[in-house]
Chain A
């Protein structure tokens, strides 16, 4: 492996909402929509609908098994670019403790294992990014790239954290737990500061739980445009809140301050008591908005693999809750949680709107617990 400069293999092509990426896919871009200045219910609904409408530029999803086969092929293509020592660094046993070794912290505070992006050659790095673009949906891949690039922005503006903390796109790591397989369970683990994607695949099934996305800065400029890696999560949540009537709000809003994620890194295996407004008390339109919000996390996965997961979440909506803590005025820092029998999503601003932590879990299937072991 050799050092390569940031973006050698793939420049971040963050341009207007629909743009051709280096792979020729159609991605859409997060742009500030000025929702903070709007206080009209009807407009909020219109904005939410607009965001949702722009979210389906992909071709019809392939079958899950076919998607897994393509991900496995991409994983093997990446492995083929590595020398033996590189492959040893990347591969771990499926039940290795490495599975739970992920964090929101940057390099220098938390030590990650696997292939460090900054240590890869341009060809190796390109193969790694191709794997991610295959494993993730176009929206999910864009989100990951924007979080990584946000860390690059942080690096460029940083005086360092006492010399040991390192930011930037080079500081992301790729690892496999188990052998990439079209049938047996294995995990693709990719993460760095503010990002931990733990994708377990098992033939036709896949789960992203647990995964952590975050952003700092939550909004930055790139080539003259505003990039908000978690902007849709924020906007869709505030749009949903704006549709709640007084009785719904009373149930949804928790009376206490939520200073951070409850089930963040290090909190595996816990299931908290659900709180807030039951989705059964939402109108059909509000339920659709809630599912659109959930899709911001579940939809990071390849469309073919995300579809059955979304269907599972939809089927459990009657047992799903939406809880909120903080102001309801768009542009404010507010915590929210979506929790159902197989789902926990948390969105937790860190003392302001420019630093966000989020968490995605499945209490029944974190790390693919439901899948048969090899």
Chain B
């Protein structure tokens, strides 16, 4: 992990009931495959629906990497889109900080899981995680102990495991497949 960055892993797993409409939303030219351009466009939508703020100030995010499953895997309910996102932290000063993550992607149709990962540095200590009811918002409170600013935040934030569309997927899975 970079010492002065927040890193976010965003997983999105469509359920089989919504798989076709989900694929159609990505596959804009309707050729049955998800081209690199179509993947980039959809990843951009996902990132655009996300907001990360540190101590009340929005952070600029950047997508580092992404992986898309084959359309067939999505149809089977085992396809996960994974985005690796990072944001530079302008103020990594010692003391208390509060990072807020909001995910509005496919709001109302999704089930969210959002968790902080254990910091790699023992100078960073997560003191609390506060989520809203559906976990579309997660606030992480943490402290940074003194030291060089550049090395003050070598930690991982993330795993926003968005089993997005899971609510609808569950209807199918309750029909016995998951």
- A residues bordering B, Cβ < 8 Å? 103-106, 109-110, 154, 158, 161, 165, 167, 216, 254-260, 262, 266-267, 270-273, 275, 350-352, 355, 357
Contact = CB atoms under 8 A, between A and B. Distances in A.
28 contacts: A104-B178, A105-B76, A105-B78, A105-B178, A109-B76, A109-B78, A110-B76, A110-B78, A158-B176, A255-B130, A255-B131, A256-B131, A256-B133, A259-B112, A259-B113, A260-B163, A262-B115, A262-B161, A266-B80, A272-B116, A273-B115, A273-B126, A273-B129, A275-B129, A350-B170, A350-B173, A351-B170, A352-B174
A267 B112 CA distance: 15
Contact of A256 (B76, B135, B166): B135
A355 B133 contact: no
B159 A105 contact: no
Interface in B76-104: 76-78, 80
A273 B174 contact: no
Interface in B155-178: 159, 161, 163, 166-167, 170, 173-178
Contacts of B133: 255-257
Given A109-B177, A161-B177, A262-B113, A257 B135 contact: yes
B134 interface: yes
A165 B134 contact: no
Between A104, A158, A270, A275, the greatest number of chain B beta carbons within 10 A of the residue's beta carbon is seen for A270
A262 B167 CA distance: 15
Contacts of B170: 350-351
A271 B117 contact: yes
Interface of B: 76-78, 80, 111-113, 115-118, 126, 129-135, 159, 161, 163, 166-167, 170, 173-178
Contact of A273 (B117, B167, B175): B117
A216 B134 CA distance: 25
Contacts of A165: 176-177
B98 to A, nearest CB: 15
B176 A216 contact: yes
Closest 8 CB pairs of A and B: A259-B111, A256-B131, A273-B116, A272-B115, A271-B118, A109-B76, A273-B126, A161-B177
Contact of B78 (A103, A167, A352): A103
A19 to B, nearest CB: 29
B135 A351 contact: no
Contact of B166 (A103, A255, A259): A259
B129 A161 contact: no
A310 to B, nearest CB: 24
Contact of A259 (B76, B116, B163, B177): B163
Contacts of B117: 270-273
Contacts of A271: 117-118
Nearest to B125: A273
